[in-house]
Amino acid sequence: MNFNHLVSDRENKITCGRNHCGASKWVPVSEGEASAGKNISVQMLCENCKARTHIFLHFEEYKTHEKLIIQEVNRDKASK
């Protein structure tokens, strides 16, 4: 599954631009970690160029995507 919509265009250009990726495919590699102000931090990995970044989602936005994020992280863990 592709989670590109969670990564801002600016972050995508900066992170994948360094590696000349061209076709980013962001996936979560960690479950959410609580941070200040009801925000959740999720570590993301580009499957094409192996670039990493963190995104911060507001708690309600994280709850919307939580099931898919956890499902993807568990799928990634099972494949290793």
**Radius of gyration from C-alpha coordinates of the chain:** 12
For the whole model, what pTM was predicted? 0.78
CB 19, CB 49: distance < 8 Å: yes
Question: Containing domain of residue 32, as a range?
Answer: 4-78
What CA–CA distance (Å, rounded) separates 46 from 25?
5
Top pLDDT among 71 and 36 is at 71
10-44 tens-digit pLDDT: 887 777 777 677 778 888 988 888 887 889 999 99
Tell me the residue type at 37: G
Q: How many domains does the chain have?
A: 1
The values of phi and psi at residue 58, to 5°, are -65, 155
Mean pLDDT of the chain, nearest integer? 84
